[in-house]
């Protein structure tokens, strides 16, 4: 089975994980296929050497995203929010709190921990600075999170402490809470998380979770991943420890820590160059049911004991008592951790969203194309060779939420593996991207999973990540659920848009390509089964928005997000920009309250449509539900009909008066057979038609 290694880079006072992967040599038709994708998306043909230079961020005042965003503060670099495991923002009523690494000047440390508080729903913020300046005094904080813990918000992070324990790269987990409650802004002296201020190993990436039982007692659980083992400094084991609180109040105390994932024993062993085991996610509902999960390969001693689980995918444990105890066996008594079987991904993704094989062909004009099996037509194409994807790879940086009934939602990256061992193909197909998985009880042997496609990242991953490589490693999805209706779920993620502009050295003559990253949001009203059209909530071609996190608690119509905007005029990490990524620059931190009622109607994102436009259904192919969106620039009577390949009308979706703006309808094809269909939007002047594919 293929292996992708996490490589770890350590710089003085700057610690970040970098996932190093081998990207497969792409098949013959790859470039032609990419040309087709970019032509469809950007209206131009992909240039083999696109210009990726960004317009440097100017001033905060010049930044004008589609939705109103509030500038909170700045960070010396973007690595404080570079992981989706952390949770930088939380709220209670109209009071919001955020934790981040704070800007203190170009020559100052990057590890000062700051907190920002808003008491008016995020419109205005006050800042509490340098929470870790006096204790522990290293000012080398990393990966902060903010979590509401009953009567007060809590800030959690890890702190680099040099060689104090004999390790080259040691770190301790820390906590501070607002002693005046929500909105007080008076944070306690940082305290080491753990019993008697001792910890088993150097602990780094942390994920907090808070829940309350029926008696109103609060439970704070925090997972931390190992950076290095004390007894093996050259091994990146990624062991994962859990801290469960014994009391939550004006002070928080913890029970003895638990090694919740014994990675070195059960998962593929790490080495001095890294590990294939991810950090851990934790989520527990107020009924006490919850899960802690990571992504890994089984180790050689357990791979043959786990039938149907060879993929790099989720392993997890379950609690029913707010994290005090956890499951110790899985579907098999010999295996301590539950897992998602490979068949879940095979049955719901392969040949539904990602083909298990693709054909490299030429058409009558001699053009080389990459064709999905579903589109294969021997009368139109001549086959050159075939590419088969033997498996699927689940990414390292994902999100998880447990609902009020104890069901679990995952949002994860899925890409195919290559025929060549050790390689992946993240841009092989438009189905490469983010997916949503849901299961009411994943610990049942017969667990049934619902899988839906959230967004394609193929186009984003096509371009290098500024001057870096492996763009697929640089993006993660975030989730939020409504506290009013648990069926309302939001997906939040940055992705790339391409656009063209005139070559400044040859005005009016040459178009050059640029890539810009924006934050997108999608909403589901049925717990992730289907998704409304994605909304670009920033829509700023001259700026990048990255590392977007969502407050896990949303409403039916509002989701709260924070993100970074790099200032490319201020490079901060080292003196070499040749391989610099956006996180290597000063980054401004923004908060945005996305009102989805305005977003879905288009009133906050764009002016009245100037064209009559029928968009491609999403997802496509689909099974059995898809969304069809269209723009109307003149109010009137419209019809939207589905036709088969014989031209016979099989269903009418719209036949009524429609106002100016953007509209979206759901097409449920449960009663129809697999195949190619067409959908046509008509008024009294014009008809627009597109193709869709139903795969069951």
- Report pLDDT digits (tens) over 649-668: 899 999 888 877 778 898 99
CB of 688 closer than 8 Å to CB of 632: no
Domain ranges of the chain: 357-386, 613-694
Residue 298's closest CA among 276, 330, 271? 276
540 vs 544: CA distance, rounded Å: 7
The confidence band for 25, taking pLDDT boundaries of 50, 70 and 90, is: low
DSSP state of 299: P
Which secondary structure element, helix H or strand E, spans residue 40, and what is its range? Answer: helix 30-42
The pLDDT assigned to 574 comes to 86
pTM, 2 dp = 0.82
Phi/psi of residue 117, nearest 5 degrees: -130, 135
The pLDDT assigned to 31 comes to 45
**Rounded to the nearest 10 degrees, how much is the dihedral formed by the CA atoms of 460, 464, 466, 472?**
60
The pLDDT assigned to 509 comes to 58
Rg for the chain (alpha carbons), in Å? 25
- Is a pLDDT exceeding 50 seen at residue 215? yes
269 CB neighbour count, 10 Å cutoff: 19
- Is a pLDDT exceeding 90 seen at residue 633? no
537 vs 82: CA distance, rounded Å: 20
- Position with higher pLDDT, 299 vs 48: 299
Residue 649's closest CA among 688, 615, 677, 610? 677
For strand 423-424 and strand 22-23, is the pairing parallel, antiparallel, or unpaired?
parallel
CB of 228 closer than 8 Å to CB of 235: yes
Write the CB contacts of 518 (distance below 8 Å, at least 6 apart in sequence).
494, 495, 496, 497, 536, 537, 538, 539, 540, 545
The confidence band for 429, taking pLDDT boundaries of 50, 70 and 90, is: confident
Q: Tell me how far apart the terminal alpha carbons of the chain are, to the nearest angstrom.
A: 28
Mean pLDDT over the full length of the chain: 83
- Position with higher pLDDT, 206 vs 32: 206
Q: What is the DSSP string of 502-541?
A: E-TTSTTT-EEEEEEEEEEEEEESSTTSS-PPPEESS--T
Tokens 């016979």 belong to 648
Task: Among 176-180, 443-447, 671-675, name the one with the lowest average pLDDT.
Answer: 671-675
The confidence band for 13, taking pLDDT boundaries of 50, 70 and 90, is: very low
- Position with higher pLDDT, 468 vs 389: 389
Topology at the third CATH level for domain 613-694: Immunoglobulin-like (2.60.40)
The pLDDT assigned to 24 comes to 65
Q: What percent of the chain has pLDDT over 70?
A: 82
Q: Per-residue pLDDT tens for 304-355?
A: 888 889 999 999 999 999 999 999 999 988 899 999 999 999 999 998 899 9
**Rounded to the nearest 10 degrees, how much is the dihedral formed by the CA atoms of 135, 140, 145, 150?**
0
Which secondary structure element, helix H or strand E, spans residue 387, and what is its range? Answer: strand 382-388
Coil, strand or helix: which one is 218? strand
193 vs 205: CA distance, rounded Å: 13
**Cα angle 628-499-66, degrees, rounded to a multiple of 5:** 65
Q: Per-residue pLDDT tens for 254-292?
A: 998 999 999 888 998 776 667 889 999 999 999 999 999
Q: What percent of the chain has pLDDT over 90?
A: 50
Which class for 578: exposed (0-12), middle (13-18), buried (19 or more C-beta within 10 A)? exposed
552 vs 489: CA distance, rounded Å: 10
Q: Per-residue pLDDT tens for 396-412?
A: 999 999 999 999 999 99
Q: Per-residue pLDDT tens for 137-171?
A: 888 899 999 999 999 999 999 987 765 444 445 78
- Is a pLDDT exceeding 80 seen at residue 531? yes
Q: Per-residue pLDDT tens for 576-628?
A: 888 899 999 999 999 999 998 765 554 333 334 546 778 888 888 888 888 89
């Amino acid at each position: 089975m293929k292996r992708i290694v996490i490589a770890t880079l350590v710089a003085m006072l700057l610690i970040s994980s970098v996932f190093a992967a081998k990207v497969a040599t792409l098949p013959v038709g790859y470039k032609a296929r990419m040309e087709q994708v970019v032509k469809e998306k950007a209206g131009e043909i992909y240039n083999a050497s696109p210009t990726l230079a960004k317009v440097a961020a100017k001033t905060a005042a010049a930044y004008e995203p589609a939705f109103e965003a509030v500038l909170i503060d700045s960070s010396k670099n973007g690595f404080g929010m570079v992981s989706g495991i952390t949770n930088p923002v939380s709220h209670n009523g109209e009071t919001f709190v955020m934790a981040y690494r704070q800007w203190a000047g170009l020559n100052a440390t990057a590890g000062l921990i700051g907190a920002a508080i808003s008491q008016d729903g995020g419109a205005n913020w006050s800042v509490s600075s340098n929470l870790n300046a006096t204790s522990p005094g290293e000012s080398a904080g990393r990966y902060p999170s903010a979590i509401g813990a009953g009567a007060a918000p809590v800030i959690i992070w890890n702190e680099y402490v040099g060689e104090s324990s004999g390790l080259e790269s040691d770190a301790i987990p820390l906590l501070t809470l607002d002693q005046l409650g929500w909105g007080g802004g008076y944070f306690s002296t940082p305290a080491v998380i753990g019993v008697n201020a001792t910890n088993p190993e150097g602990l780094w990436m942390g994920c907090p979770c808070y829940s309350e039982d029926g008696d109103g007692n609060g439970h704070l659980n925090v997972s931390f991943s190992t950076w290095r083992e004390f007894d093996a400094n050259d091994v990146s084991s990624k062991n994962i420890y859990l801290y469960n609180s014994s009391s939550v109040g004006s002070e928080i105390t913890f029970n003895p820590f638990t090694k919740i994932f014994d990675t070195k024993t059960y998962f593929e062993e790490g080495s001095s160059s890294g590990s294939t085991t991810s950090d851990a996610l934790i989520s527990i509902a107020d009924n006490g049911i919850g899960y802690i999960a990571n992504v890994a390969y089984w180790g050689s001693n357990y791979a043959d004991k786990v039938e149907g689980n060879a993929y790099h995918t989720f392993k997890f444990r379950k609690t029913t008592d707010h994290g005090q105890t956890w499951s110790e066996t899985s579907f098999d008594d010999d295996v301590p951790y539950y897992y998602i079987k490979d068949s879940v991904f095979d049955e719901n993704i392969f040949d539904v969203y990602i083909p298990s094989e693709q054909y490299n062909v030429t058409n009558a004009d001699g053009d080389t194309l990459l064709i999905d099996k579903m589109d294969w037509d021997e009368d139109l194409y001549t086959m050159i060779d075939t590419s088969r994807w033997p498996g699927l790879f689940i990414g390292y940086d994902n999100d998880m939420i447990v609902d009020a009934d104890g069901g679990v939602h995952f949002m994860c990256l899925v890409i195919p593996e290559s025929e060549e061992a050790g390689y992946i193909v993240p841009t092989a197909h438009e189905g490469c991207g983010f997916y949503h998985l849901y299961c009411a009880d994943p610990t049942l042997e017969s667990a049934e999973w619902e899988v839906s496609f959230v967004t394609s990242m193929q186009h984003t991953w096509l371009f290098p990540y500024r001057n870096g490589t492996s763009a697929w490693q640089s993006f993660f999805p975030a989730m939020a659920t409504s506290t009013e209706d648990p069926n309302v779920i939001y997906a939040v993620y940055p992705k790339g848009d391409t656009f063209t502009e005139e070559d400044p050295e040859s005005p009016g003559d040459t178009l050059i390509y640029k890539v810009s990253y924006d934050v997108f949001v999608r909403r589901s009203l049925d717990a992730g089964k289907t998704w409304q059209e994605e909304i670009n909530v920033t829509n700023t071609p001259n700026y990048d928005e990255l590392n977007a996190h969502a407050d896990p608690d949303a409403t039916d119509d509002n989701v709260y997000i924070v993100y970074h905007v790099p200032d490319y005029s201020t490079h901060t990490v080292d003196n070499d920009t040749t391989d610099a990524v956006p996180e290597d620059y000063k980054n401004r931190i923004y908060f945005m309250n996305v009102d989805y009622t305005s977003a879905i109607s288009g009133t906050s994102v764009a002016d009245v449509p100037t064209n009559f436009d029928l968009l491609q259904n999403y997802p496509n192919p689909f099974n059995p539900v898809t969304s069809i969106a269209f723009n109307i620039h003149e109010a009137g009577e419209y019809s939207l009909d589905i036709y088969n390949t014989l031209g016979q009308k099989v269903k009418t979706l719209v036949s009524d008066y429609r106002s100016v703006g953007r509209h979206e309808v759901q097409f449920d094809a449960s009663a129809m057979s697999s195949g190619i269909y067409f959908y046509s939007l008509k008024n009294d002047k014009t008809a627009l038609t597109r193709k869709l594919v139903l795969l069951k």
